């Protein structure tokens, strides 16, 4: 029962999001900006992981780290690097 309700909420919210995108005439320009930020976030984390500057540091590529770097940009990479050095 709960799974059915959750699936219904997911489908309804997805349809409403699509409706908002097309009704507000946002188009797909925001998708290219988001995609560019996502790719640059992954490249930033790869540079930290494989540059060899800090050999003991490895930042995992998962949705949380990519999301943080996508939103925060280069300071997000530095934040993850600082967290990795201080906490682990």
pLDDT of the chain, 88 residues: tens digit per residue: 778 888 888 888 888 878 776 776 666 777 788 888 888 888 888 888 887 666 677 888 888 888 888 888 778 888 888 888 888 7
User: What is the DSSP annotation of 4-61?
Assistant: HHHHHHHHHHHHHHHHHHHHTT-TTHHHHHHHHHHHHHHHHHHHHHHS-SSTT-----
Alpha carbon distance 22, 46 (integer Å): 35
The pTM for the full model equals: 0.58
Distance CA 64, CA 61 (A): 8
* Of 7, 64, 19, 70, nearest in space to 44 by CA: 70
Residue 72 CA from chain centroid, whole number: 10
Q: How crowded is residue 45: how many other Cβ atoms within 10 Å of its Cβ? A: 23
């Amino acid at each position: 029962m709960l799974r059915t309700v959750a699936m219904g909420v997911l489908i309804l919210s997805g349809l409403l999001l699509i409706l908002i995108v097309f009704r507000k005439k946002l188009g797909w320009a925001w998708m290219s900006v988001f995609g560019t930020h996502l790719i640059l976030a992954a490249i930033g984390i790869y540079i930290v992981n494989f540059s060899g500057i800090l050999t003991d540091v490895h930042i995992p590529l998962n949705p949380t780290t990519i999301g943080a770097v996508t939103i925060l940009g280069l300071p997000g990479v530095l934040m993850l690097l600082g967290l990795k050095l201080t906490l682990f």
